Amino acid sequence: MIRRVPAVLRGPFLLESNLSRMVDDMFSDFHRIGFDISPNFGRTDVYEHDQALVFETELPGVKKSEISIKVEDDQLIISGEVKRNEAIDRENYFRVGRRYGRFQRCYPLPADMIQKDDIKATFEDGILRVTAPMQESIKEKEKPIEIAVE
């Protein structure tokens, strides 16, 4: 004979399990829409210039060797790490206002328009500039839609 746990005792665990599953489902696709690890780090301007999509990202305190750039699933992924100066003891700080640790920023790319093999990047004065050439201009492709007023 199998004994079942009374519903009163089982309830909180079911709620926790269901709630956990709902939260996991809610966040499962955030990487596809630009969810970022440490979103306040690496503020980025995105614009079109000379038929290229340009991403200019502030990366103060990051070394060029600690930056990774890749294109995966029609997304530009910029990641890296800012390391703290370990020569100074933690107890000697009065305030820590800068961010340290890993970061990642993801940006969707217009898959049918980007020439992925020709993407270039430069890093100067704490600004990472990624240029992704396009086959045609996004601005030229835009067509206004008239809204009828009834």
Alpha-helical segments (H) within the chain:
7-27, 138-141
Specify if 123 maps to a domain.
yes
Amino acid code (one letter) for 106 = C
> Which tens digits make up the pLDDT trace of 100-125?
788 888 999 887 888 888 999 999 99
CA distances from 69 to 14, 80, 119, 123 (A): 42, 9, 10, 12
- Structure confidence by residue, pLDDT tens digits, 59-116: 888 889 999 999 998 899 999 888 777 776 777 777 767 777 888 889 998 878 888 8
In 44-108, which ranges are E strands?
A: 44-49, 52-58, 67-72, 75-82, 101-108
Cβ atoms 106, 126 nearer than 8 A: no
Which residues neighbour 74 within 8 Å (Cβ) at sequence distance 6 or greater? 108, 109, 111
**What's the predicted TM-score (pTM) here?**
0.63
The CATH number covering residue 105 comes to 2.60.40.790
114 within domain boundaries: yes
Range of the domain at 48: 36-138
The three-state secondary structure class of 19 is helix
> What per-residue confidence (pLDDT) applies to 69?
95
Number of domains forming the structure of the chain = 1
Quick one: tokens of 145? 């839609």
Q: Has residue 21 been placed in a domain?
A: no
What is the per-residue pLDDT across 15-54, written as a single tens digit (0 to 9) for each?
A: 455 665 665 555 555 544 444 444 556 788 999 999 899 9
Check: CB of residue 103 under 8 Å from CB of residue 79.
yes
Domain contains 103: yes
The answer on pLDDT for 129 being more than 90 is: yes
